[in-house]
Amino acid sequence: MPRIKTKRTKAAPEGFDKIQPTLADFDLRLKEVHSEQGSKLAAKANEGTWKILQLTHERSRYIFDLFYKRKAISKELYEWLLREKYADKMLIAKWKKRGYEKLCCLRCIQSSESSSEGHTCICRVPRSVLEKNSKDGVVTFTRCTHCGCSGCASSD
Amino acid sequence: MARLWREYKTPDGSKYYYNIESKQSTRERPSDFAEQELDGKKRKLQQTKVACSLDLANNSKLSICQDGSRRFKLGDSGTLQEEIGDEESLNILSQSDEQKLKRLVRSGKKKGEFDTQVHEEVLKHLETLTNPPEKAAEEKGQESDFPSSNSESSAEDHIVAGYSTSEEESDNEVQSLDEVHSESEAQTENELHKENFSSGSSSDLENKEIFTSMFPLYSLDPFSTWNMQSKKLQDDPRFYKVGKDSVREQYFEEWCTRQCNNSKSTDDYVNESELDSESEPDSDRLEPTKYHYLSHIVSKATIKPETLAKDIRAEQKTLFRQFKIKNSLDKKAQEAFISKILFYYKKLDHNQRVDVFEKLLDSKSRSIELGLRHTNKLKDMPLHGDLPEKPFAIETLLLELEDCIDIHGLNKSIQTEVQYYVLGIKPKTIAMKKCLQNYESKV
């Protein structure tokens, strides 16, 4: 979620007007997701946040791409966007590292907090390894519980 | 002709034979059963139409049937066999392009759509394989005649042995053969797909062009995401020229980077040209060379044999501050340059230093000539007259002269030469003028 604009927030640097429509679109989608009614099934208890996490991931990726891949925005604007929390600074920091290029969310690499006995999330395991380790070559894993990621290893 | 004898199994599993014409049934194998069997097989072999045939050694031929199987025609016998014993032919086969053969097999399977191009290619290849070692083949001819006939008979033996078994077994065999064929076909298909993928790169490029040409038409926003922009395109048939969405996204990203950079570079270009047009008439904008002021300071300083760089800095503190040397050069670079130039000041007297300077310009004369510009301006300058009296005017003259040899563009390398700075401003201007007079006369 971006910060709420107040009198004290600095004015957006030049070039913000070019990306504003896209950011507004993201906001709209986020609102739609918020208003959706989640499932009451206990089995789907985790799924409520998946879409929100996915959207924030997408927006972070968008800003990351704008600055590092397309080189379409200035450094000032990029920093302003990070400060206003349009993108997840910590997540982007991970994306710059080798092996974490496609990381879905920070919780999935947080070994101390995860429920799966102190390991990183299953979505970090490459699909080829999953296939190799399964008995009959069929992978039962579809989505991780943290953010609904279906696999974010760099080799996938 | 239908076969007379049929083989059946009783419910307990033992075999019996039944004649469909005489309606006889026996448990013993009828004497004419095997022959029939062979006849039937032969017919089967010949029934499969030959799609094309390729010449191998010793009159034998490789025929590719329409059902995709390979048969060998031995000599003049005219019968098709599944195996070939002839060593030479086998050699040729092993040397020939397996890929192309497989493709031939595949094209042979599609009735009516026979790939003549591949056929010709394979034929050519086989010709080159068979022709050059012709002599050797002739020499071997007498020897190889014997084994070939031998192999023929052995092959026939094999066939007899293979098909003299019961119908069921042979059926099994045929099935397994078919399976092998289908497997190999699957393989070839896979390979073909791969080939298509690699050889289809040209068509991919076309598709990419078509695909990217859509973007400006639909006025896509290069500052947006593919996820949102793709909705605008989805109804266009060209959208599906590219099969995978990840590939589409990649193309979109490429287009975006190009778009963003284009707009930026055009902005930059405009800015630069504006700057240029502004700066040219203004002589104040003339940029001094990298060590211009530093060399000026050194030339002003009193230099003794034991002077060091830091002594000069201590002595000329005010000048250092005045020319803001700190802004353009850091301490290390300053010291390195001063100590280098001090060598010239300590070891050589003024005339020698002028010589050094002129030598440098001589050695660079080629590039200076190339970089020469504003020739009309050069003519206007008081090259032949005396120097102006004010030191500021002298300096501007020097800077203008330097500009004329394009010292910030083509002749950038001169800027970094230490020998270029061994003179103070005034003697340097004189030497420079002298040098440029030569060029002017050439122009």
Buried b (16+ CB within 10 A) or exposed e, B114-148: bbeebbeebeebbeebbeeeeeeeeebeeebeebb
CA A149 distance to own-chain centroid? 9
Residue type for B129, please? L
- Residue B30 in tokens: 């009828």
**B225 and B319 belong to one structural domain:** no
pLDDT, mean of residues B312-334: 81
The Cα B120–Cα B71 span in angstroms is 19
pLDDT, mean of residues B150-164: 39
pLDDT band at B135 (very low <50, low <70, confident <90, very high): very low
**Helices B116-130, B98-109: crossing angle, 10 deg rounding:** 140
Q: How far is A10 from chain B (nearest CA, A)?
A: 22
Q: How far is A16 from chain B (nearest CA, A)?
A: 10
> Which of A18, A22, A71 is the closest to B225 by Cβ?
A22
**B393 and B426 belong to one structural domain:** yes
Contacts B221 to A, Cβ<8 Å: 21-22
User: Please, which residues bridge with residue B5 across strands?
Assistant: B19
Contacts B260 to A, Cβ<8 Å: 70-72
The domain in which residue B24 lies consists of 5-46
Our count of domains for chain B comes to 4
- Among the listed residues B88, B82, B56, B85, the one whose alpha carbon sits nearest the alpha carbon of residue B151: B85
Domain final residue, candidates B91, B114, B137: B114
Q: Do B256 and A72 touch (CB under 8 A)?
A: yes
Q: Do A70 and B227 touch (CB under 8 A)?
A: no
CA A35 distance to own-chain centroid? 20
Nearest residue in chain B measured CA to CA from A29: B228
- B145 lies in some domain: no
Q: Do B223 and A71 touch (CB under 8 A)?
A: no
> Which of A21, A25, A70 is the closest to B253 by Cβ?
A70
Q: Is the pLDDT of residue A19 over 70?
A: yes
Q: Is the pTM of this model over 0.80?
A: no
> Which of B224, B228, B261 is the closest to A71 by Cβ?
B261
**B331 and B233 belong to one structural domain:** no
**B245 and B371 belong to one structural domain:** no
**B425 and B330 belong to one structural domain:** yes
Chain A residues with CB within 8 Å of chain B CB: 18-19, 21-22, 25, 58, 62, 65-66, 69-72
The Cα B310–Cα A97 span in angstroms is 45
Which sequence spans correspond to the domains of chain A? 1-96, 99-155
pLDDT at res. B70: 63
- Residue B190 in tokens: 């896979």
Longest CA–CA separation in chain A, Å: 61
pLDDT at res. B134: 45
The Cα B234–Cα B222 span in angstroms is 17
Please give the residue that has the higher pLDDT: either A52 or B175.
A52
**B386 and B422 belong to one structural domain:** yes
Chain B residues with CB within 8 Å of chain A CB: 221-225, 227-228, 253, 256-257, 260-261, 264
Contacts A58 to B, Cβ<8 Å: 225, 227
B354-373: per-residue pLDDT in tens?
Answer: 888 888 888 887 777 777 77
**B108 and B235 belong to one structural domain:** no
pLDDT band at A140 (very low <50, low <70, confident <90, very high): confident
Task: Report the range of poorest mean pLDDT among B161-170, B195-204, B329-338, B388-397.
Answer: B161-170
> Which of B225, B227, B257 is the closest to A71 by Cβ?
B257
Contacts A65 to B, Cβ<8 Å: 253
> Which of A21, A58, A70 is the closest to B256 by Cβ?
A70
Q: How far is B259 from chain A (nearest CA, A)?
A: 9
**B30 and B63 belong to one structural domain:** no
CATH of the domain at B257: 1.10.10
Q: Do A70 and B222 touch (CB under 8 A)?
A: yes
pLDDT band at B156 (very low <50, low <70, confident <90, very high): very low
Q: Which residue is it, tokens 């098909």?
A: B163
pLDDT at res. B278: 38
Buried b (16+ CB within 10 A) or exposed e, B161-183: eebbebbeebeeeeeeeeeebee
